[in-house]
Amino acid sequence: MADDTLDEKLARYRSALELFTERLEDDRYILAAVLIGTLDEDTIWRKEGLHVWLIEADGVTRRMKFDGNNEDICRTLVENGVNIYAELFPRTRFRQMVEGSSRTAFRHSFYARRQLIYAADPSIEKWFEAANSLAEHDQDKELLVATTWAIWSQRHCRKLLHIRKDLERTRQHLIGAAHALAAIHIVLQGEVYEHEIIYRAIDLNPELFQTVYLDLLSGKPTRKKCQAALDALGEFITEHAERFLKPMLHWMRKQRRTVPLSEMSDHFAHTQLYPWHLETACEWLEEQGALEKLSAPFALTKKSRTEFEEPAYHIDE
């Protein structure tokens, strides 16, 4: 309730989770459940409900009209007055997810713990343990995603400042870029952190975040402050690019040839690294002189005889 003390709220949420788990055990078609995020005094204050993954038997998905064609099935339930936000996965899809053959929701494991709270299928328990361990320690891929976010922000802010000359919008987007940098710092720590990541990042690198975040929040935006933040952002990415973009650079060097963007996207399709992430990183690397942008033929359909051109990139070994 709105006037609960933190202790009362915590007790109510824990009771709701216990009752909900008992219901799960009575449903033969629900094979496992995963709690997203912890329930403790440090996190309960901001929670509006419980978030869970439910793994169901294959072939039993109940689709509603409002689901449309969306592959993700989400339901809002309630227990003891506490809303429960449940995302349902068929067993086969969950296995694909944790084994890395599809873009995995485990990518957020640096920012929220996952706890298996119920499992009627021993194999699911083994999959979860392996995937959760991998997600919490697979820094390279997480750094690559966060860095491409920061690169895109830096390039966009540069246009806002120098072409549009819009100080307010530049400040807003630079603050967003600071959160990308914060994500990088959290991932580098290799520890799950469930609180506001920007404040943890300030503790980790106070000088950088004074320039790219705190100074921007102070007073009106000025060209000097925006340019300083933009420069600091660019310098930080440039200094650490080889480390932060390691999976992409390593794979490209192994190819020893010009690589089309579509082929690169296919290779990274099992991660959360979408094609625009890769394009952003490659375009920035070209600006830095680190790789060469070329083109490669691309057919739009399986039967197309007309060949279009797509971006392709070459990097020296």
Q: Is the pLDDT of residue 101 over 50?
A: no
Q: Using pLDDT thresholds of 50, 70 and 90, give the confidence band for residue 71.
A: confident
User: Taking the model in full, what pTM does it have?
Assistant: 0.80
- Rounded-to-integer distance, Cα 88 and Cα 259, Å: 37
Quick one: average pLDDT of 284-305? Answer: 94
Is 290 or 1 the better-scoring residue by pLDDT? 290
Work out the angle between the directed axes of helices 139-159 and 275-287 (0-180°, nearest 10): 60
Which of 269, 173, 258, 257 shows the shortest CA–CA distance to 221?
173
pLDDT for residue 95: 87
CATH superfamily entry for domain 6-137: Beta Polymerase, domain 2 (3.30.460.10)
Q: Is the pLDDT of residue 103 over 50?
A: no
What tokens does 194 get? 């469930």
Q: How far is CA 162 from CA 156, 157, 176, 227, in A?
A: 10, 8, 18, 9
Contact yes or no for 87/81 (Cβ under 8 A)? no
- Rounded-to-integer distance, Cα 228 and Cα 170, Å: 12
Q: Which residues partner with 313 through β-bridges?
A: 259, 293
pLDDT for residue 268: 84
| DSSP class per residue in 73-106 | EEEEEEETTEEEEEEEEEHHHHHHHHHTSS--GG
Separation of CA 201 from chain center: 17
Residue ranges of the chain that CATH labels 1.20.120.330: 139-244
Q: Using pLDDT thresholds of 50, 70 and 90, give the confidence band for residue 102.
A: very low
Residue ranges of the chain that CATH labels 1.10.10: 251-317
Quick one: average pLDDT of 205-233? Answer: 97
Q: Is CATH 1.20.120.330 the classification given to domain 139-244?
A: yes
What tokens does 57 get? 């038997």
Q: Taking the domain 251-317, which CATH number applies? A: 1.10.10
Q: How far is CA 98 from CA 12, 33, 49, 110, 123, in A?
A: 31, 14, 25, 16, 12
Q: Is the pLDDT of residue 134 over 70?
A: no
Cβ neighbours of 70 (radius 10 Å): 9
- Three-state DSSP state, 315: coil
Triad 130, 134, 139: Cα angle to 5°: 175
Quick one: average pLDDT of 93-113? Answer: 66
Residue ranges of the chain that CATH labels 3.30.460.10: 6-137
Residues near 210 by Cβ (< 8 Å), separated by ≥ 6?
A: 202
Q: Is the pLDDT of residue 137 over 60?
A: no
